[in-house]
Chain A
């Protein structure tokens, strides 16, 4: 039942009604009334966005032209990191379902704000850092841009009980024009690097810090002390980061989680105890663009059938460019659609029957 299933139906564009009604309608149409599902839609850019309240349902319907592609997934298969999902009440239900699952997955904190663009960087943990510091996260996944910056040794002045003291530090020495680091506008030459992915760099050599940054290059979180302190975030207004994505966070170690959570928040990648608790299946790699996973064993509700292959192809390009793939079922789907754009090197002949001969982890 939960392969891919396509239905086409019509709705009143101008009076879409309530989300709850729509939800029931969907369940009815698909004869899956007894399941918890997650509804998403493809926006004008082809990105998958959630429908879980009246507002975004309305936005989805109004933006449909002429068809609205709605995707329905089992609740327990949804990767919450894809998009903000539910209201708090729904989240609880989701947790119940999760526990039935064999996989132990951490509860994900969901948000209600949809987003229709891909982040390249963000300022995080504003609430727990001193105002003079800035924690910047660079998203390199799927993006062809180089990280594009250099670091150097230097000295910084610290205030200590004995007065001012010069201590060695690591600084950003150069930005590559057109690189990811420069394009974010969040990092600048002479910013002092304090932490890399939650690990302090004090006492580490330039080479060590270089290695740490490269090792984290797929999801690099750098805490810097900007050389220019005038552009610092002012606590009262949240929306001041140049990426427009500046939000508070619920860093897992923080005792007082705030009500708003960053989109694309992957608990796995924070400095929490990822290895100890989470078993990551080959197909679910947190570093990757989340949209892809939602396709996995999901029920696809289609309004316009012809756009599926287009959509898949697009995903595959992404998929290919970052050199990863998910598990076998999507392979079958892909090969049957004959839209595999990859070269034979990536999937060796005869490898399709095997489960995932090419695995990027």
Chain B
């Protein structure tokens, strides 16, 4: 036995193993868990999301993804892209700043951390003195302005993140030029916002928390203008032309301020409380976007009336008379607006609103009427209802693929047709080799079909099983039914809805036959639905049968949930998978295993009480088998029996609250005692052999259909195999009538074998190997010419995988042939096992079947077939991550998925050949696009550039030729010296700057048109 563990000494095999197996975690699908920050680069057209665990993820065009992880694993508080660079700066909650950059390496871009830095004050100063609250990457790309809690603004040099001591803007300096009667030292505590002037890079706007706003000139190092807000400041936003800015406040108001060099202290132009007059919540961020028709878009987060809507997570969009408050399903982390990226454009012309909420990303199309949502190609909220199971189907035939997509597109009619607006970078990964589907079952009774072929996990179609049943919740009862005149004009957006109406609807097992389009779905209350794909809407009756798994066992009472009530009469189903048969197990315990044979038209299902076989062609129950041990009360009563009723638990929680209020101090003392007791009694484990009397031995863990030699070695026949938690394997011989008499004769079943494994460990997998030791093909696989027909001449073998051992038996006489005692050797148990096909990366014509095994320690092992030799082992999941291990699903070609959070699948690959990972390039948009970066976001501005490009149209005019002008422009802008010269010539007349710019903009238009032609 030990010999297995020693690395094989066969060098040929060792070399082959290197060609076959390789472990990689390739990509994370879904929505980042606990996002905490959002950033966007209009220049790169990339979006960045930071999380509470210190991860940073960049997304661009579908397939363009980057990921980085801060070593500290601290929450990412802010993300700022450096203007016109492939660089970004993150601020963590430990006050450290990190500079990341996208570098090209081996033909693809990579995200790497370049520098890190923590701001340090003089010795003895309080930590708040250097606590960074606002970050402004200056358009010069040379420095970062760092606003702090103390009110000082430090200047850090890029890219080394070194503080330039002499350039710090202290509150004292700011206050010098402000009359003392208005302000004092306290006005300058905590820098809330820092914004660069959109046209003049030498001026920055400093907003202090208490309401004071100062326009600071970097050249003269003094405040040129100050604005006295009466309310606590939340944020600032420059208007595009730099003549006005807008501030938003803690009391739910926003204020417009004029900027002019004449007066030092300005009065507000306009002060509004959009959801007044009653007290409102803070407006934490605001955008003011100009349009051609003159009506601006005012977009802000928060500001809802405190008393009645204070709990809403909203972003309001106001455009003329149109006003909508988008009501999000979870807290809004941050949002940004995508608007005209043409630097010379006169107006912002916003096109989309991108909002990051705690549980999902929502993009609103602001160009189309009604502001519809855009269907995101990635960042799908996998957990919009909790995932309860998953099933992967590789290599979907094109026909089925198209039908699923067409069913899905009918569901997605309400989405905007706008192309995905975040489209930076280029995906250079090869096209996925095949079409793969990942099916996830959810707590609310839905099954979601995901395109899992490539890097973007994309929702294709959503199936709901709810319509078959009568539930308490009325499907029409939703939050959108607000009256026309409702104020505020809330509109629900997003799909995140974790509250299940009825936990019994939860999906537990899924089986899809990719050839026939038959789908079997089984749920928490013992329901098994068989469905067929229909391209049209249809109304029909679902045939209903009941399977009494206890049969002759008497005197037991099921204390769990009731079975689901079904709808009488025909039910209307939308195009897609439509159920035609419902089998309900009695007692209605959760379905623990499911198998479908589309060729024989049979479905088998098992619960903790037994298993049954149903003929879905004749709609007849073939047989049931009770696997329950008579003394197993726990399984009989059902899992919910020990859970108190809701009413009771509510009552108890109230009592607990009351108790805690009364004697919180007393309780603390008791807790101390409890912990002492814990120390006295260390964790201990009982060593006992498994016995037949253990609980849940009858729990059916696996079901398997096989056409094999069950009774004698001359005739093979269809068979059904079932494995239980108690280490028992049942084999039933089936007689399926030939196709022409399929409806006339009943399917018969007869028990042929019962195997009790000596070690009584749960049976997690059963497999039959044909005469060539190849696993039997899936039903219909041979009929579709996709698999060699199995070898029915040689002797078949049975592989039984229990949690502890792998064991090969001969067939039809079941005698042990080989075994691998995994647990006895390594102390780990098998959690998941699948046959996977591994192809060699060196030669196309070699591939082999092996077992991919996930253990309870989170290791993945590859075990050869049929000799059961351990090939290789990789640590994959932390052993404490129980839900990750439980959620793992392997594909047929050596890839796999597991949940790293409720909302994210990690994809991994064991194969050298089948590898789906992001591979993409982000090019520094060259000078041509340097045009476009100008004035894209209110936070950053490149006035120097704008003047540079402002000049170049002039050059164009001189050249009087579009094309050559563009070339000229290249040359000019590429040469730093020339650029500086241009800049210095323009330095003189800063006063009329805005005027000149507006005069030039038509020229800019001309140029960009020319460029487009």
Residue-wise interface mask of A (162-182) relative to B, using a CB-CB cutoff of 8 A (1 in contact, 0 not): 000000000001100000010
Q: Closest residue to B755 on the A side, CB-wise?
A: A359
Q: Are B1 and A281 in contact, with the CB atoms below 8 A?
A: no
| Of B251-259, B374-382, B541-549, B812-820, the one touching chain A | B812-820
Is residue A280 contacting chain B, with contact meaning CB distance below 8 A?
yes
Q: Are B826 and A208 in contact, with the CB atoms below 8 A?
A: yes
Q: Which residues of B contact A153 (CB under 8 A)?
A: 682-683
Q: Are A323 and B756 in contact, with the CB atoms below 8 A?
A: yes
Give chain B interface residues in 703-760, CB to chain A under 8 Å: 711, 751-759
Is residue B686 contacting chain A, with contact meaning CB distance below 8 A?
yes
| Of B82-90, B105-113, B642-650, B688-696, the one touching chain A | B688-696
Q: Closest residue to A285 on the B side, CB-wise?
A: B758
Q: Which residues of A contact B689 (CB under 8 A)?
A: 140, 146-147, 214, 217-218
Q: Are B824 and A210 in contact, with the CB atoms below 8 A?
A: no
Is residue B192 contacting chain A, with contact meaning CB distance below 8 A?
no
Cβ distance B810 to chain A, nearest Cβ, rounded Å: 9
Q: Which of A173, A174, A280 contacts B816 (CB under 8 A)? A: A280
Cβ distance A218 to chain B, nearest Cβ, rounded Å: 6
Q: Which residues of A contact B753 (CB under 8 A)?
A: 354, 357, 359
Is residue B825 contacting chain A, with contact meaning CB distance below 8 A?
yes
Q: Are B827 and A211 in contact, with the CB atoms below 8 A?
A: yes
Which of B689, B690, B753, B818 lies at the interface centre, i.e. has the most chain A CB atoms within 10 A of its CB? B689
Q: Are B690 and A214 in contact, with the CB atoms below 8 A?
A: yes
Give chain B interface residues in 822-864, CB to chain A under 8 Å: 823-829, 856-857
Q: Are A211 and B829 in contact, with the CB atoms below 8 A?
A: yes
Q: Are A150 and B687 in contact, with the CB atoms below 8 A?
A: yes
Cβ distance A29 to chain B, nearest Cβ, rounded Å: 35
In the bound assembly, the distance between CA atoms of A163 and B637 in angstroms comes to: 57
Q: Are A213 and B687 in contact, with the CB atoms below 8 A?
A: yes
Q: Which residues of A contact B690 (CB under 8 A)?
A: 214, 217
Q: Which residues of B contact A361 (CB under 8 A)?
A: 755-758, 807, 809, 816
Is residue A239 contacting chain B, with contact meaning CB distance below 8 A?
no
In the bound assembly, the distance between CA atoms of A148 and B868 in angstroms comes to: 33
Cβ distance A63 to chain B, nearest Cβ, rounded Å: 35
Is residue B365 contacting chain A, with contact meaning CB distance below 8 A?
no
In the bound assembly, the distance between CA atoms of A211 and B805 in angstroms comes to: 12
In the bound assembly, the distance between CA atoms of A285 and B759 in angstroms comes to: 12
| Of A18-26, A78-86, A267-275, A307-315, the one touching chain B | A267-275
Q: Are B813 and A356 in contact, with the CB atoms below 8 A?
A: yes
Q: Are A359 and B756 in contact, with the CB atoms below 8 A?
A: yes
**Given A280-B816, A348-B751, is A217 in contact with B687 using a C-beta cutoff of 8 Å?**
yes
Is residue B970 contacting chain A, with contact meaning CB distance below 8 A?
no
Cβ distance A273 to chain B, nearest Cβ, rounded Å: 5
Q: Are A273 and B686 in contact, with the CB atoms below 8 A?
A: no
Q: Closest residue to B3 on the A side, CB-wise?
A: A273
| Of A93-101, A106-114, A199-207, A289-297, the one touching chain B | A199-207
Give chain B interface residues in 228-277, CB to chain A under 8 Å: none
Q: Are B1 and A149 in contact, with the CB atoms below 8 A?
A: no
Is residue B15 contacting chain A, with contact meaning CB distance below 8 A?
no
Is residue A159 contacting chain B, with contact meaning CB distance below 8 A?
no
Cβ distance B709 to chain A, nearest Cβ, rounded Å: 13
Is residue A331 contacting chain B, with contact meaning CB distance below 8 A?
no
In the bound assembly, the distance between CA atoms of A330 and B805 in angstroms comes to: 28
Q: Which residues of B contact A275 (CB under 8 A)?
A: 1, 4, 818-821, 868
Is residue A151 contacting chain B, with contact meaning CB distance below 8 A?
yes
**Given A217-B687, A358-B754, A360-B758, is A152 in contact with B682 using a C-beta cutoff of 8 Å?**
yes
Q: Are B687 and A214 in contact, with the CB atoms below 8 A?
A: yes
Cβ distance A15 to chain B, nearest Cβ, rounded Å: 47
Q: Are A147 and B688 in contact, with the CB atoms below 8 A?
A: yes
Is residue B761 contacting chain A, with contact meaning CB distance below 8 A?
yes
Residue-wise interface mask of B (888-917) relative to A, using a CB-CB cutoff of 8 A (1 in contact, 0 not): 000000000000000000000000000000
Cβ distance A161 to chain B, nearest Cβ, rounded Å: 27
Q: Which of B685, B757, B817, B824 contacts A152 (CB under 8 A)? A: B685
Q: Which residues of A contact B758 (CB under 8 A)?
A: 218, 285, 287, 323-324, 360-361
Q: Are B752 and A147 in contact, with the CB atoms below 8 A?
A: no
In the bound assembly, the distance between CA atoms of A281 and B816 in angstroms comes to: 6
Give chain B interface residues in 779-824, CB to chain A under 8 Å: 804-805, 807, 809, 813-821, 823-824
Q: Are B3 and A282 in contact, with the CB atoms below 8 A?
A: no
In the bound assembly, the distance between CA atoms of A152 and B686 in angstroms comes to: 9
Is residue B2 contacting chain A, with contact meaning CB distance below 8 A?
yes
Q: Which residues of B contact A214 (CB under 8 A)?
A: 687-690, 823
Q: Are A360 and B685 in contact, with the CB atoms below 8 A?
A: no
Is residue A279 contacting chain B, with contact meaning CB distance below 8 A?
yes
Q: Are A215 and B761 in contact, with the CB atoms below 8 A?
A: yes
Q: Which residues of B contact A287 (CB under 8 A)?
A: 758
Cβ distance B151 to chain A, nearest Cβ, rounded Å: 52
Q: Which of B752, B754, B814, B824 contacts A215 (CB under 8 A)? A: B824
Q: Which residues of B contact A348 (CB under 8 A)?
A: 751, 754
In the bound assembly, the distance between CA atoms of A357 and B759 in angstroms comes to: 18
Q: Which of A140, A217, A273 contacts B2 (CB under 8 A)? A: A273
**Given A152-B683, A361-B758, is A215 in contact with B3 using a C-beta cutoff of 8 Å?**
no
**Given A149-B687, A217-B687, A217-B690, is A211 in contact with B823 using a C-beta cutoff of 8 Å?**
yes
In the bound assembly, the distance between CA atoms of A199 and B2 in angstroms comes to: 9
Q: Which residues of B contact A38 (CB under 8 A)?
A: none
Q: Are A210 and B687 in contact, with the CB atoms below 8 A?
A: yes
Q: Which residues of B contact A149 (CB under 8 A)?
A: 686-687
Q: Are A355 and B813 in contact, with the CB atoms below 8 A?
A: yes
Is residue B684 contacting chain A, with contact meaning CB distance below 8 A?
yes
In the bound assembly, the distance between CA atoms of A112 and B683 in angstroms comes to: 47
Cβ distance B131 to chain A, nearest Cβ, rounded Å: 41
Q: Are A209 and B754 in contact, with the CB atoms below 8 A?
A: no
Is residue A216 contacting chain B, with contact meaning CB distance below 8 A?
yes
In the bound assembly, the distance between CA atoms of A273 and B869 in angstroms comes to: 13
Q: Which residues of A contact B807 (CB under 8 A)?
A: 361
Cβ distance A119 to chain B, nearest Cβ, rounded Å: 17
Q: Are A207 and B820 in contact, with the CB atoms below 8 A?
A: no
Q: Closest residue to B829 on the A side, CB-wise?
A: A211
Q: Are A150 and B751 in contact, with the CB atoms below 8 A?
A: no
Residue-wise interface mask of B (658-694) relative to A, using a CB-CB cutoff of 8 A (1 in contact, 0 not): 0000000000000000000000001111111110100
Q: Which of A147, A206, A359 contacts B683 (CB under 8 A)? A: A206
Cβ distance A194 to chain B, nearest Cβ, rounded Å: 14
Residue-wise interface mask of B (754-772) relative to A, using a CB-CB cutoff of 8 A (1 in contact, 0 not): 1111110100000000000
In the bound assembly, the distance between CA atoms of A283 and B813 in angstroms comes to: 12
Cβ distance B868 to chain A, nearest Cβ, rounded Å: 8
In the bound assembly, the distance between CA atoms of A53 and B761 in angstroms comes to: 44
Q: Which residues of B contact A283 (CB under 8 A)?
A: 815
Q: Closest residue to A181 on the B side, CB-wise?
A: B687
Q: Which of B4, B711, B819, B827 contacts A208 (CB under 8 A)? A: B827
Q: Are B692 and A323 in contact, with the CB atoms below 8 A?
A: yes
Q: Closest residue to A198 on the B side, CB-wise?
A: B2
Is residue A52 contacting chain B, with contact meaning CB distance below 8 A?
no
Q: Are B824 and A150 in contact, with the CB atoms below 8 A?
A: no
Cβ distance B878 to chain A, nearest Cβ, rounded Å: 13
Q: Are A174 and B684 in contact, with the CB atoms below 8 A?
A: yes
In the bound assembly, the distance between CA atoms of A355 and B809 in angstroms comes to: 14
Q: Which of B1, B754, B756, B857 contacts A273 (CB under 8 A)? A: B1
Cβ distance B136 to chain A, nearest Cβ, rounded Å: 50
In the bound assembly, the distance between CA atoms of A354 and B752 in angstroms comes to: 9
Q: Closest residue to A149 on the B side, CB-wise?
A: B687
In the bound assembly, the distance between CA atoms of A323 and B727 in angstroms comes to: 12
Q: Are B711 and A354 in contact, with the CB atoms below 8 A?
A: yes
Q: Are B2 and A151 in contact, with the CB atoms below 8 A?
A: no
In the bound assembly, the distance between CA atoms of A198 and B1 in angstroms comes to: 11
Q: Report, nearest first, the 6 A-B pairs whose CB atoms are least far apart.
A: A208-B827, A217-B689, A215-B823, A282-B815, A210-B685, A152-B684
Some 13 contacts from A to B, beta carbons below 8 A apart, are A150-B686, A154-B682, A208-B827, A208-B828, A209-B685, A210-B827, A211-B856, A212-B825, A281-B816, A282-B815, A282-B816, A357-B752, A358-B755
Instruction: A150-B685, A207-B827, A215-B804 given; name 8 further pairs at CB < 8 Å.
Output: A174-B684, A197-B824, A198-B2, A214-B687, A218-B759, A273-B1, A275-B821, A285-B758
